Each structure stands twice: as C-alpha cells, then as structure tokens.
Structure 1
Amino acid sequence: MQKSPPAATGSLAGRVVLPCHFSIAPALPHSSSPHGPSYPALPQAPRATPSPTEELRIKWSKLEEAEEKVVLVAQGGVVKVGQDYMHRVTVPGQPLLLGDASLVMERLRASDAGLYRCEVMHGMEDTQDTVTLNVTGE
C-alpha cells in the first residue's frame, strides 16, 4: 500500500475522499528455483475459483478511544455499511483493477472527524493504513 497523506479535510455537509491505495502482487504458481527442489507440474483439473474481486475484502473503520466503529465492509460486490454512515459512504466499484479502496464520504457531520483505518485483504495478503479526517465549518 502506498503511503497516504496523514490527513484529509472536508467541509461540514460536504464531500471528502479518504485515500487508500494498494498494490497486490499476483499469486504465482510454484515454479522450480535454481536454489531449491524442482517439482513436476501436475495437470490442473478445471475448477470454479472465485474471481480476484470476490477474494478482495475492504474494511473501513473509525478508531475511537474505547472502540472500533465499522464504517464499511466490501467483498465480492456486497457492501455493508455501518448505521451512522448509511447512504453517505462508497468505495470504487473495481478496487482491485484500480488499486484504490478510497472511501468517499458525503454529507459530512462534525462527529465524522477522527482517525480512520483502511484494511485491504486479498488471499494471504493484508495491508492497512490510517488517515485522519478533519471537518471544517459552522
């Protein structure tokens, strides 16, 4: 994951993007190595495998003193949104292709200000970053 800016600022009742960029190395089949044993390739039977998008899981949380509040979880085209963020948050439709799991938050409230964590899980890889949201206005 690339280092995101330490803070994002949005206006009360406005819109802000909390950045979360990542890069997932493609899973490569085991191959022979000059430094290790070589195994013959076995024929692969056709099988139904989940698409890369289905394997990708994005979770945005707001980190508060005593708890972690789930903002949004997205996996395989299914998106679950925390009660306080209903109809106010979205993530890109094809995050794996874009390498972008940024959170778009609309109709900002003063209570939205704080520290947020983005977690991107893909197979065995798990990356995360945090960003602080500042809300300005009356």
Structure 2
Amino acid sequence: MVIFSRVIGLLRGLSTTLDARIVYHDIMRPFAESVLQEKIAKGPSENAQWINDTPVHSDVEAKLRQILVELGNDDKILGIQVCAYKDGEVIIDTAAGVLGRYDPRPVQPDSLFPVFSVTKGITAGMLHWLVDKGSKLSVGILSE
C-alpha cells in the first residue's frame, strides 16, 4: 500500500508538471471493484454464513429463510433484516446477506442501515389511502 501510494504521488507530480489532466480514480476504479468483488462471497451457495445463525421462531420464518436463500443465490438481494410480531410475540426475526456491495461484513439482527427518508414513501402512501377513503385532511404550516 505504501509503494502504491508513492507511485500515485509520483504520477500526480508528473502529470502536474506536464500539465496533463488525468483523474486516477476513474482509471483505477474498475480494477479496485473487480478485486473487491472477487473477495466478497456472494449468496448462500458461496457463503455458509449468509443467513445469520439465530433460532427459528415459526414455520413462517423457516419458509422465509428458504425464500431468502433463493433470492440470495439469484443475486436479487444483498442484505436484509426481517422482524415480525403477531399477538405480541416474535414470529420472525432473521437477518441475511452482507452490509454492502463492497462491505462483506454479515448482516446481524442489530445491524444499522442508513435509511434516511425511507418513511416519505410510507407517509405518502398513507396520505393517498386516507384521501381514497374520503377522510378530510387539514394541512397546517408552522412558521416562526
């Protein structure tokens, strides 16, 4: 890594001296991505730890895990957490996959995902549902 950094510094210095406009990130990105993709074991067929080893709470969770394995083998999901309650009891609590395309750490039941603004879609859907049901809505704007 040190030698790599030194070479990049040398190339940057040469390109500045020769007044050449080269963006090294664009040149090296495909190579870095290919190396990272080789190191990340995708899907359950390549990664035995793809589904988090937690107890199965119900038959529904067992079926869900089978579906998650199929989706993972088809590269349809990268990482997922699912938790569901029925009558106050946990019936599904499972996690599978990896945290990101370039982050091979496994998804845990307590993993945090950046989901900023995800609830906007839910809020808009609920608003449309209320309008469809004929609810009268009032909108207020607060200002100082």
Relative to the length of structure 2, the TM-score reads 0.28
Bigger strand fraction: 1
Higher relative contact order structure (alpha carbons within 8 Å, sequence separation ≥ 6) = 1
> Per residue, is there more helix in 1 or in 2?
2
